[in-house]
Amino acid sequence: MSKTVKIGIIICHRYHTCAGGKCFRSMQKHEGAFSRYDKDTELQLVGYTTCDGCPGGNIEYAPEEMIKNGAEVIHLATGLVVGYPPCPYTDHFREFIQKRYNVEVVVGTHPIPQKYFDVHTALGTWNDKSWGDKLAPTLADPDIRLAYN
């Protein structure tokens, strides 16, 4: 590996019992939002926590701890956009963390599972054009989406 990027992940509190399997697998394989990093870049997890529930009280403090552990980029987990309803605070979280901590924030971790892609497409959840940028890092081809079902 030629370079290491230290990553923090913040998940939706609805999924506070999540063991992180899809996030960690996609981080290891450089899939989903982690495809933005070169394959020869080592991704090292330095923090993993929830937002602490609506409206995201942990967003004010958790990034600081992650940064103390070396976080260079904080990812807001895919669960924030595929849960139903999707988190209404995602943009606020991203903006706050970037401004307060001067660290890059990426919306998404693992690829969107096909089953969530199908239901949100049928419901029209992501029809608003503001979703384009938020979904782009986690949209993958159907075979990869199926692998994350």
Top CATH class of 3-147 equals alpha beta
Domain ranges of the chain: 3-147
State residue 2's pLDDT score. Answer: 79
| pLDDT (tens digit per residue) in 104-147 | 999 999 999 999 999 999 999 999 988 988 899 999 889 999 99
pLDDT in the model for residue 1: 56
- Condensed to tens digits (0 to 9), the pLDDT of residues 13-61 reads 999 999 999 999 999 999 999 999 999 999 999 999 999 999 999 999 9
Q: What Cα–Cα distance (Å) separates residue 68 from each residue in 31, 101, 106, 110?
A: 26, 11, 19, 24
Based on C-alpha coordinates, what's the Rg of the chain?
A: 14
What is the C-alpha to C-alpha distance for residues 113 and 78, in angstroms, rounded to an integer? 10
Count other Cβ atoms within 10 Å, centred on residue 87: 23
